[in-house]
Amino acid sequence: MTQDADYERSMRRALDLAGNGPATGVNPRVGCIILGADGETLAEGWHRGAGTPHAEVDALSKLPAGGARGATAVVTLEPCNHTGRTSPCSVALLDAGISRVVYAVADPGERSSGGAERLRAAGVAIQGGVLAEEATAFLADWLFAAGLGRPFVTVKWASSLDGRAAAADGSSQWITGPEARQDVHRRRAQADAIVVGTGTVLADDPALTARDADGGLLPGQPIPVVLGTRPIPAGSAVLSHPQAPLFFDGSDLGAVLGDLHERGIRRVFVEGGPTLASAFVAAGLADEYLIYLAPTLLGGGRLALNDIGVQGIAEQRRLAITHLDRLGDDILVIARPLERNDHVHRNH
C-alpha cells in the first residue's frame, strides 16, 4: 500500500471518529489518527465538544511521553492556531514532536486558521486536501458558519400544493401527515436554534421542542429564539422549553444572526410563519429551504411566503433542488440558492 493510500485510509477512519462528536455546538466535529513510521496506527482521538480536548490533543494523550516524536498526524480539519478554552493544536503537535501533518480541509475561521502555516514554519511537513470532498460535505454547515461569521440558516415551511400555509381562518394543524411532522422534529434536534416570530407564538403557542413519535423529548433540543416586539403571555409554552429562550426585536436579522454566532450557534432553523420566512428570504439570509408539500388545496390568501422583494421575473430567486423524498402522503423538497449568500452580514 502506498503512503497516500495509508493517508486516505487513515483519513476515512478519522472521519468516522469525528462522527462520535456532538453534531451541534460552537466546535466542529474532528477526528485524528497518529501514524508511526511504518504507517501503523499509534493512537486515535476525536473532539467531544466545547471545552474538551481537541481531536489532536485527545489522540496525543493516549501515547506515552515522546511516543509521537517523528510520527504523522492525520486530522480531518487543519489544526487550530488560536487559544480559546484550550491551547492551539498546532502548538500541541509541535511540542509532541510530530514530523508530518496530513489534513483534509483548511480552517476558514479568521481567528482559528493558520495552524498549517505555523507548523510548516517550524519544519513540519504539511499535506492538505486528503479526502477534502468527503470532509467538506461532513463539515458543510460548520465551515459555512466559520467562513461567514453567522449561522447556516434553514427556512422551513409546510404548505398545500397551491402554496398555502393555512386555511382562510388561519388554522394550519395539520396540513402535513405524521411522517412529515416527525421528520421536522428530527431535523429540529439537529439544529442549534429554532427561530419564530412573536406572531407565531401568539397564534399557535408552540413548544418549539424536538420530540419523538410518542411525544417524548429527543436528546438534542434547539434553543428557542423569538423575534418581535409584541409581549408574549407569561404562560406561553416556549417559556417552559428545556433551553432558556432568547428574545430579539428582530429589526436587524443580520445582527441577530451575528449575536447567535457569538453564542456558539452554528445552525439555525427558521420556523416562524410567512412573515418571518419572507423577511429572511428577502434579506438574502436563507441558505437552505425545507419545504413539506401536502396533497391538498386550501385556496385563499394564506401563502407560505409573502413579499420577498421580487418585482419582476428577472429578480426571481432561483434555487437548486438538492433532495426530494416521499414522507407518507407528503413530499419533502430541500433546495438551496444557486448563489451562496456571501454578501450578507459578517461578524468578524
Peptide bond into 174 cis (omega under 30): yes
Q: Which of 8, 44, 56, 288 is catalytic?
A: 56
Average pLDDT over residues 153-171: 86
For the segment 299-322, what is each residue's pLDDT rounded down to a tens digit? 888 888 888 888 889 888 888 998
Q: Rounded mean pLDDT of the chain?
A: 88
Which is it for strands 330-337 and 288-294: parallel, antiparallel or unpaired? antiparallel
DSSP string, 217-232: BPS--PEEEEESSS--
Per the model's pLDDT, the better-predicted residue between 294 and 298 turns out to be 294
Radius of gyration of the chain (CA): 23
Mean pLDDT to the nearest integer, 167-185: 85
Q: Could you read off the pLDDT of 73-105 as tens digits, one per residue?
A: 999 999 988 766 667 899 999 999 999 999 999
Dihedral sign, CA of 207, 211, 213, 216? negative
Nearest of 192, 180, 196 to residue 220 by alpha carbon:
192
What φ, ψ does residue 111 adopt, rounded to 5°? -95, -25
Rounded-to-integer distance, Cα 46 and Cα 14, Å:
8
**Cis ω for the linkage preceding 142 (within 30 of 0):** no
Q: Which residues contribute to the annotated binding site for NADP(+)?
A: 158, 174, 200, 204, 229, 273-279
**17-31, 46-60, 188-202, range with the lowest pLDDT:** 17-31
Tell me what percent of the residues of the chain surpass a pLDDT of 90.
56
Give the per-residue pLDDT at 344.
Answer: 40
The answer to whether the 3-139 and 149-337 domains have the same CATH topology is: no
Q: What per-residue confidence (pLDDT) applies to 314?
A: 87
pLDDT at position 180: 92
Residue pLDDT, tens place only, 325-336: 999 999 999 999
The CATH number of the structural domain formed by 3-139 is: 3.40.140.10
Q: What is the average pLDDT across 200-219?
A: 88
| Three cell numbers written together for 262 | 457569538
C-alpha 287/C-alpha 281 separation (Å) is 9
Interval 40-52 mean pLDDT: 89
Annotated binding site for Zn(2+), which residues?
54, 80, 89
pLDDT value at position 1? 47
Question: What are the grid coordinates assigned to 68, written together?
Answer: 509521537
Is 117 considered catalytic here?
Answer: no
User: According to the model, what pLDDT value does residue 149 have?
Assistant: 84
State yes or no: pLDDT of 263 exceeds 90.
no
SS3 assignment, position 99: coil
Q: How do the domains of the chain map onto residue ranges?
A: 3-139, 149-337
User: Which CATH entry fits the domain spanning 149-337: 3.40.1640.10, 1.10.300.10, 3.30.300.30, 3.40.430.10?
Assistant: 3.40.430.10
Phi/psi of residue 295, each to 5°?
-80, 70
Selection from 119, 120, 128 nearest residue 7 by Cα? 128
Structure-block grid coordinates of residue 126:
504539511
User: Which residues make up each annotated binding site?
Assistant: 54, 80, 89, 158, 172, 174, 188, 200, 204, 208, 211, 229, 271, 273-279
